[in-house]
Structure 1
Amino acid sequence: MSCNRYTLIQEKNRVIHSDARLLYLSTAKYGGDWHSLPHTHDFTELFFVIGGSGQFSIENELYPVHVGDLFVINPNVEHTETSLNAQPLEYIVLGVENLQLFLQNEQDDRFCVVHFQNHMEDLLFYLRTMQREIETKPAGYEMVCQDFLDILVIQLMRQTKFSAALIPLNRRSSHICALVRRYIDNHYKEEITLEHLAQITHVSKYHVVHIFSKEYGISPISYLAMRRIEESRQLLTTTDFSLSYIAHTLGFSSSSYFSQAFRKLEGVSPTEYRRTHKQQKAEQSSASKA
């Protein structure tokens, strides 16, 4: 009888790749009607070029890309891609949170590019399998895709000088909260829903509410209302705009809802607040003349 036993040796400081979570997989082929604009994400994107050629613009610098190239764009790095019209760029991209990839001994950890022309079949096998799972959604497809992501990252590290680093969850949560808050501050006059906030942060709306409330002690929708009320106080005291105009301008669905939200935060109605302010201003003016 012959028997062989192989014991797994757990390496110290081993990166646990399952902490990195696949957010999405998408395929794209450049066309004349596609105009990509510079943008950033708070997660890592892996672009694997499967057709055509073009350029990646990364923080205003251009880098050529060809079939078999893998571009890794780490979080918060401004980027976009362009295509050569004669050879439309085609790629598969993965969005992955909680993970950064960078090349060893490279000082620039914002992004990296690796040429995988000799290993295209291997990488395409993993990517196409993940794509098929996501498209057909059989039972357990999320787990299968996550497992294939872990295998893909390990294969990348084996075949190159890639190193991986996990992004602490608390740092990612703080970044998401700051992104939501900044978005509300810049767009509070527009219609904003939890679904929209979830879309721009790539997490569920329930997770957005949970981490935002934990970070700031207030829900995103309550913060939105507070931000609108802050602006309404300025309009009430410096203009003669009607309540309906102010409500509409600041994104409230109606003047009655505006009044309700204002009273909840300020303890008085908008009309009472305006009248009180005018009385105080008139009294101060009389006092100064006396």
Structure 2
Amino acid sequence: MGNERYDFSAPKEYLTKDKAKLLYVSSATYGGDWLSTPHTHYCSELFYVIDGMGQFQVEDHIFPVSANDLVVINPNVSHTELGFNANPLKYIVLGIEGLELSVENHNANFCIVNFKEIKDTINFYLKMMLREIENRSPGHETICQDLMEILIVLFGRQTNFSTILSPANKKASHLCDSVRRYIDQNCGDDLSLEQLAKFSHVNKYYLVHTFTDEYGISPISYLMRTRVKKAEKLLATTDYSLSVISRTCGFSSSSYFSQTFKKITGVSPSCYRRTSKSDQDQDKEASC
């Protein structure tokens, strides 16, 4: 009887179990009819191009991409996809928390590597991951996490990838900074806690806890203060009506605007405007 035994030596750890977490998996087909704008995530994103051709804008640079390219975008790096109608860009993207990838002699914030030689293997694991996500059978989260770790090892075999496991406080800071900047830039829109959680790809309760721990204020309270700060500027520098300022700053009604403004500043919007105008007139007289 023949018998072969293979013992394992200490493996090289591309990942540490329970440190890098798969947050989401999605697939997309992107032609020129879909408008995407530059954005950031607190987690890393790995885009694997299944088919088609397109471009990736990363920070201020644009790079061509095609089938079997892996685009690695590390946390808080501005990026967007650009597709062509003639040959739409088809890709699968993984969102991974707690992990940053880099390749020697590449920009540490992102890299693009082609995996044509092992495309069949990569496609097999990615499609298996999508099936698990779509079917949501018992244990699908564990299987997808394990498949993600297999893919990272395969990527590392083909390149000189180095992996960095981000400490928990760094991950939280990435998340909170990303959400805070999103609120600053979009405070006039109809934002909700659910939308902020969807933007940041985390549970809304986790978002509230982490954001409050980081800044001492909840995301919605920060949103209200940001809207009031914007309203203060409009009240002091324009003659817009309170209803226009209310809509511009994202409040659902003029009454709610006035109520929130007074609660935060201690005075009504009208009183704030009168005081600001009076102060400006006094400054003008003093300068004459």
TM-score of the pair, normalised by structure 1: 0.80
Equivalent position amino acid for 2:172 in 1? S
Distance 1:59 1:213, change over 3 A: closer
Is 1:33 paired with 2:33?
yes
Task: Measure the CA separation in 2 of the matches of 1:211 and 1:272.
Answer: 36
Distance 1:264 1:150, change over 3 A: same
Task: Measure the CA separation in 1 of the matches of 2:19 and 2:109.
Answer: 21
- Aligned-CA RMSD value: 3.5
Structure with larger Rg:
1
> Partner of 2:128 in structure 1?
129
**1:204-230 deviations in whole A, cap 9, x for unaligned?**
222221121111111111122222333
Task: Measure the CA separation in 2 of the matches of 1:150 and 1:241.
Answer: 55
**How far is 1:184 from its partner?**
2.2
1:7-18 alignment, distance < 5 Å:
9=10, 15-18=15-18
Task: Measure the CA separation in 1 of the matches of 2:220 and 2:73.
Answer: 32
Whether contact under 8 Å (2:33, 2:85) holds in the other structure is no
Task: Measure the CA separation in 2 of the matches of 1:202 and 1:79.
Answer: 16
1:180-219 alignment, distance < 5 Å:
180-219=179-218
Distance 1:259 1:152, change over 3 A: same
Task: Measure the CA separation in 1 of the matches of 2:105 and 2:249.
Answer: 48
**1:15-62 deviations in whole A, cap 9, x for unaligned?**
415322222222223435234444433322222222233444444544
Task: Measure the CA separation in 1 of the matches of 2:254 and 2:63.
Answer: 53
Task: Measure the CA separation in 2 of the matches of 1:270 and 1:54.
Answer: 49
**Partner SS, residue 65 of structure 2:** strand
> Partner of 2:137 in structure 1?
138
Structure 1 window deviating more from structure 2 (242-251 vs 126-135): it is 242-251
Distance 1:60 1:273, change over 3 A: closer
1:24-63 alignment, distance < 5 Å:
24-63=24-63
> Partner of 2:97 in structure 1?
97
**How far is 1:194 from its partner?**
0.8
Distance 1:48 1:284, change over 3 A: closer
Structure 1 window deviating more from structure 2 (131-140 vs 36-45): it is 36-45
**How far is 1:153 from its partner?**
0.9
Distance 1:47 1:248, change over 3 A: closer
Equivalent position amino acid for 1:88 in 2? P
Task: Measure the CA separation in 2 of the matches of 1:102 and 1:20.
Answer: 15
**Partner SS, residue 180 of structure 1:** helix
Structure 1 window deviating more from structure 2 (124-133 vs 36-45): it is 36-45
Distance 1:194 1:116, change over 3 A: same
Distance 1:165 1:86, change over 3 A: same
TM-score of the pair, normalised by structure 2: 0.81
Whether contact under 8 Å (2:74, 2:100) holds in the other structure is yes
1:211-290 alignment, distance < 5 Å:
211-236=210-235, 243-271=242-270, 277=275
**Percent identical:** 49
Task: Measure the CA separation in 2 of the matches of 1:47 and 1:282.
Answer: 53
> Partner of 2:22 in structure 1?
22
> Partner of 1:73 in structure 2?
73
Equivalent position amino acid for 2:188 in 1? K
Structure 2 residues not aligned, in runs of 5+? none
**How far is 1:256 from its partner?**
2.8
Distance 1:207 1:55, change over 3 A: same
